[in-house]
Amino acid sequence: MTKLSNAQIAWRAAQDIEDGAYVNLGIGFPEMVAQYQPPGRQAIFHTENGILDFGEAPPAGSEDWDLINAGKKAVTLNPGAAFFHHADSFAMVRGGHLDVAILGAYQVAQNGDLANWSVGAKGVPAVGGAMDLVHGAKRVAVITEHVTKDGKPKLLDRCTLPLTGVGCVTRIYTSLAVIDIVEGHFVLREKLPSIALADLQALTGAPLHLDGAVQDLIVPELS
């Protein structure tokens, strides 16, 4: 089945970030969103280890390893960037000063519950700052594959893994669709033209509701 690459999912999520928004990107896959800001728009990116308004990754070989994001990746600084204590960073998060948080997910429930950490040999060892982000940011979005590696739905009636946050997610960007969470339901906004609604529903663990026309999910070719 044709599906979006991680880069294409990240591109689609980036199109909804407003100019001047204060944004935190989760470690790993969500960090890609920063690469695809639309022309004429510039978000102000926050990293929980204590930088506001960091820039693009430096060219290979020119990294300054005193300048890293929360995922320990080298970053650059935009003019006017600020450094601050870890505690001050979380005060920004908990105080509602972030407009958007974009995170990955293991599972998302139709009521907006999020599970993006797990325990066990292959799990993330702790929930980390995500628990604060999902309840501190004004808007929480998820980027994820639509199904697991073995084909099971990641969008569910109820999460079965430990929760990161309750009722916190408002929009999900997947490899097949863009879905909003409205009044405890998945509402389909966009889908790949190549997949039928019935087939998409079969890959989703809770009903997909419609509210007007479903738009085609069109993204550029990206490596």
Known catalytic residues are 48
The two structure tokens encoding residue 43:
């978000």
The amino acid present at 165, given as its one-letter code, is G
What whole-number distance in Å separates Cα of residue 148 and Cα of residue 39?
Answer: 33
Q: What does 84-99 look like in DSSP terms, one character per residue?
A: --HHHHHHHHHTT--S
Distance in angstroms between the alpha carbons of the first and the last residue of the chain: 18
Tokens 């009521």 belong to residue: 111
Length of the chain: 223
The two structure tokens encoding residue 157:
């009636």
Q: For residue 139, what is the enclosing H or E element?
A: strand 139-144
